[in-house]
Amino acid sequence: GIQVEQSPPDLILQEGANSTLRCNFSDSVNNLQWFHQNPWGQLINLFYIPSGTKQNGRLSATTVATERYSLLYISSSQTTDSGVYFCAVDGTGGFKTIFGAGTRLFVKA
Amino acid sequence: DADVTQTPRNRITKTGKRIMLECSQTKGHDRMYWYRQDPGLGLRLIYYSFDVKDINKGEISDGYSVSRQAQAKFSLSLESAIPNQTALYFCATSPGYSYEQYFGPGTRLTVT
């Protein structure tokens, strides 16, 4: 089945810093989503982005489907950005959402 | 009010007990999903349903069963709970025209 790898696994930032999180996938995908899991466990939709670029405030995402990766950019990080960021994909061989292991982000005040 | 709700939010049960986790949604979505998350890991799909009469196994369905009682309700059952089913369980929904998924708040289940 499709493999999803996220990097880095852990990231510590000073408040105000920028960061880039990466999601690599091993096969063609129909769908790709980015989620933020906050420290209370809630999963929050960030982007639905099977291809192209989207922006929402300080966050933006780019998916290059032909090269099998997606990037999540966080600018001017805030302590509330802390948590785990997941990439999830659906391969073209039928529905089956696969999650990456996540990037754990801690933003220091 | 939350669009996707899960009950209970926390549950401790003993090995061998039957337990049901419930999910309700007011988003009007046709598709519903159950996932489990183990500490430090991503989510894994247990079952999914694209409409009331359509139920499919996911990656890790062994030991679980589901019931889609209505468009808005999707229940997950553990017939005989075992300790390695201790996990955080999430319900999700998506509209019929998209696979973009929206998650409930999760149920923390502990099997002792």
The answer to whether residue B42 neighbours chain A at the CB level (below 8 Å) is yes
> Number of A:B CB contacts under 8 A?
49
Residue B87 Cα distances to A67, A76, B21, angstroms = 34, 34, 12
Question: Which chain B residues are within 8 Å of A101, Cβ to Cβ?
Answer: 40-42
- Tell me the C-alpha distance between B49 and B33, whole Å: 6
- Tell me the C-alpha distance between B98 and B30, whole Å: 10
Q: What is the pLDDT of residues A12-59, one digit of tens each?
A: 999 999 999 999 999 988 899 999 999 999 999 999 999 999 999 999
> Within 10 A of A107 (CB to CB), how many other CB atoms are there?
20
Per the CB < 8 A criterion, the answer to whether A43 and B90 are in contact is yes
Q: What is the pLDDT of residues B28-54, one digit of tens each?
A: 999 999 999 998 888 999 999 999 999
Q: What is the pLDDT of residues B54-71, one digit of tens each?
A: 999 998 999 999 999 999
Per-residue pLDDT for B7 more than 80? yes
Per the CB < 8 A criterion, the answer to whether A57 and A69 are in contact is no
pLDDT band at A96, cuts 50/70/90? confident
